[in-house]
Amino acid sequence: MTTQLLLIDALNLIRRIYAVDSNQSHHSEEHMIKASCARVAHACKKLRQQTNATHAIAVFDGEKSWRYHYYEAYKSTRSPMPDTLKQNLSLFKQAIEQTGIVVFSPNNDEADDIIATLAHKAATNNVPSTIVSTDKGFLPFLSEQIAIYDYFKKQYLEADDIKQRFNVPKHRLADFWALAGDKTNDIPGVKGIGNKTAQQLVNEYESIAAAINDDELNPSVKRKLNDEMDMFVISKNLVMLRTDIHLGFSLKQLRLN
């Protein structure tokens, strides 16, 4: 059987399912949590079957990743996890484990960096993988070896989807986000550069350095880039997922029962 690796962004899946269930009519909070756990387990079983996975892992976030230390305002305005969900995460982890999928909770690393590292290592060894998440940060990794699946839209993402959504090539997404910023994660970008200008710069120049060195570039845009270059570099470091996280386990340990 061909090796197929399934990589689940656990909190991305759980929080969306929980958000729906918490708005439904339940007899009690306990009943609602049980219903959410059952739906998460059902989703994991479906994903196992759909992807023909031979190996799988569901990754949770650690407490504070390097990004919080690197840039103090990172995710500073994001709504915290609901207390009820936070207090019952162990039940969700048990529900996932009962499907045969390994659960991994790092101490400090973000799930995105762990998943990116796993997908990158697998692809390097010609092992195909499927990332299950709605997080746009994974989009630059889309390739022949790395698929990205949106469980809630029931669709695999394609390069054309990226082009239609952001109007920039897949390999330039990091530059685009670093220029325009990312409000959902409180990543600043370059002050005064919006989506439209960021798209123009990314599509017209091979690099931001090339744009700055172009004498014909709009003087106002050039000034903003020069003045905010530090924030561009900081923002790009924040939006790029790491592929060099020390994992402490091997692919063999992710084999499904």
Host H or E run for residue 132? strand 129-132
DSSP-based three-state secondary structure for 55: strand
User: What are the tens digits of pLDDT across the range 78-87?
Assistant: 989 999 999 9
The residue type found at 11 is: L
Per-residue pLDDT at 25 exceeds 90 = no
Host H or E run for residue 156? strand 155-156
Tell me what pLDDT residue 22 has. Answer: 84
User: Of 1, 22, 14, which Cα lies nearest the Cα of 58?
Assistant: 14
E-only strand ranges, 42-107: 55-59, 102-104
155-156 vs 146-150, strand pairing mode: antiparallel
User: What are the tens digits of pLDDT across the range 222-237?
Assistant: 999 999 999 999 999 9
Q: Over the chain, what is the mean pLDDT?
A: 95
Tell me what pLDDT residue 44 has. Answer: 98
User: What are the tens digits of pLDDT across the range 116-135?
Assistant: 999 999 999 999 999 999 99
Between CA 153 and CA 32 the distance in angstroms is: 23
DSSP-based three-state secondary structure for 251: helix
User: How many other CB atoms sit within 10 Å of the CB of residue 254?
Assistant: 20
Provide the phi-psi class of 154: left if phi over 0, else alpha when psi is between -120 and 50, else beta: left
User: What are the tens digits of pLDDT across the range 123-172?
Assistant: 999 999 999 999 999 999 999 999 999 999 999 999 999 999 999 999 99
Tell me what pLDDT residue 63 has. Answer: 87
Per-residue pLDDT at 24 exceeds 80 = no
Between CA 208 and CA 226 the distance in angstroms is: 10
The residue written with tokens 């060894």 in the block is 125
User: What are the tens digits of pLDDT across the range 40-76?
Assistant: 999 999 999 999 999 999 999 998 899 999 999 999 9
Categorize the per-residue pLDDT at 28 as very low, low, confident or very high, splitting at 50, 70 and 90.
confident
Tell me what pLDDT residue 257 has. Answer: 79
CA separation (Å) from 138 to 7, 241, 256? Answer: 11, 8, 24
Q: How large is the average pLDDT for residues 195-201?
A: 97
State how far Cα 65 lies from the chain centre: 14
Give the whole-number percent of the chain exceeding pLDDT 70.
98
Between CA 248 and CA 236 the distance in angstroms is: 27
Tell me what pLDDT residue 23 has. Answer: 82
Q: Is the dihedral of CA 227, 204, 187, 6 positive or negative?
A: negative
Q: Which two tokens stand for residue 90?
A: 């162990």
Between CA 135 and CA 9 the distance in angstroms is: 9
